[in-house]
Amino acid sequence: MADDIGLSGAPFETVLAQFRSRRILVVGDLMLDRFSYGSVGRISPEAPAAVINLDRVEEAVGGAGNVARNIASLDAHCDLLGMVGTDEAANAICRCLADLPRIDAHLVHAPDRVTTVKSRFVAKLHNTHLLRADVEDSSPISAELEQKVVRAAAELMPHVDAVLLSDYSKGLLTDDAVRKLIDSAHKAGKFVVVDPKGRHYERYAGADFITPNLNELSQSVGAPVDTEEHQVIAARKLMSVTKGRAVLVTRSEHGVLVVPAEGEATSFLATARRVIDVSGAGDTLVAGFTLALASGASIANAARLANYAAGIAVSKFGTACVTHQELADALLSRPDFHVQSKIFSGASPLRQAMTKWQEEGLVVGFTNGCFDIIHEGHIELLAEARSHCDRLIVAINSDASVSKLKGPTRPIQSERARARVISALAFVDAVVVFDTETPLELITDLKPNVLIKGADYKVDEVVGRAVVEANGGRVVLVPLVPNSSTTRIVEKMRKNEAVV
């Protein structure tokens, strides 16, 4: 086993660059995540239950498969070893995995077991989960199947950089299997990360890193973890059982806490600005943590990177994956100064960019204005607008449109100049100029997820509201900076007054 894992402390840019050359073996419980989306408009006459009119059904490989998907979406390679039945759900998992070229699936088929399926029914307007129905067999696998899994893992270990055990308590990772897998990994010189379940953590003895949530940590040591001090004490008690090198505690909205066997504990606050769906966030976190360690990050920085990845995941719908680019953007916080690439010549090329963003599960926001002489009010409006979406489109009135609205002496700056200034802002992702009196035609064409305007409007006065809401989106009004306007600035300049 590499003794320097977690100690070198390479910078994040170097760590992220290493992802593409890394390969992780994930062993764990596979399941099919099925999301049925529809609209809810009435209550059943047969029982006090909502009636959902289904629009679409989406399927993805979940459990350990979702860990593998996140490793692949972060541009690394993954060997996925798990078990399925011989039913239609198993066929669906195979179809899903076939579409993921960075994942090499090694599936053990068990004819006498059902494939685990989690079916979620979701009201699409507000992404409200109405019901989850599970099909599963969580009994321990047979000794024969266990031997197949352990043997297959041992054959793969020489070719990977790390081993990740994703335990969902569905029967694959028996006590004997876990012990044999950890021993085999160490013999091959690989470190082991465990995403655990249950309360008896002595079964994970020898694992280098373990990632319980607060409830699991409390159950594993039989002690309260209501303060960070108690969490550190519990984590060190857990390490005395597992003999590991660090415990990474996931704490939902409170971020993460990493407690190494040697040195001080470090905590990181949650980074998510919006929480839409927490499904699969733990899988994203453990995938990022393992990849970072395998790529030269220190234990603390691997935890920091994983925390950022989880923050991105919870801002998306469903068991969404985080891309390498998204993580790099969030972690390195580098604004795009290639302003011209953000300026779109019209609705058609912008629609193409929007489609790509939305296919990635990103929420696209839209706001508009003249933006003639950028001032504090503009900056606050756009920064607040960006907090309600993953990508922000800013539509700017053309010169002719501004003249109609503000008079013949306006605009002060040309539409080209205004577009370039706005596109230089880090929280703006796209800029487009429109020539009509209102942006209704543009909004109708693009159909953004969120429409943002200043609080000087009422919701029913916002142009494009009906279009956006009819498409399942929403309108957000953000507060304005008092006495902040281009007109006021111009008047003060004419009077030779100081502009505040």
Catalytic residues: 283
Instruction: With beta carbons less than 8 A apart as the criterion, state whether 354 and 389 touch.
Output: no
For the chain, helix (H) and strand (E) counts, in that order, are: 17, 19
* Residues 418, 373: Cα–Cα separation, whole Å: 8
Distance CA 204, CA 459 (A): 55
Query: Do residues 287 and 307 lie in contact, with contact meaning Cβ atoms separated by under 8 Å?
Result: no
Helix, strand, coil: what percent of the chain each, to 5?
Answer: 40, 25, 35
Cα–Cα distance measured from residue 337 to residue 160, given in angstroms and rounded to the nearest whole number: 38
Query: Six-digit token pair at 316?
Result: 């998306």
Distance between CA 96 and CA 113 in Å, rounded? 20
For residue 335 the two structure tokens come to 């604004």
Strands of the sheet containing 162-166, edge to edge, are 103-109, 77-84, 23-28, 162-166, 191-195, 209-210, 246-250, 256-260, 266-268
- Which DSSP helix (H) or strand (E) runs through 61? strand 50-63
**Exposure of 3 by Cβ count < 10 A (0-12 exposed, 13-18 middle, 19+ buried)?**
exposed
- Euclidean distance between CA atoms 347 and 435, whole angstroms: 12
Q: At what angle do helices 175-187 and 143-156 cross, to 10 degrees?
A: 20
Torsion of the alpha carbons at 93, 96, 152 and 168, rounded to the nearest 10: -60
Tally of CB atoms within 10 A around 457: 14
Distance CA 123, CA 110 (A): 35
Return the biggest CA–CA distance within the chain: 89
User: In the 3-class helix/strand/coil scheme, how is 416-454 assigned residue by residue?
Assistant: HHHHHHHHCCCCCCEEEEECCCCCHHHHHHHCCCEEEEE
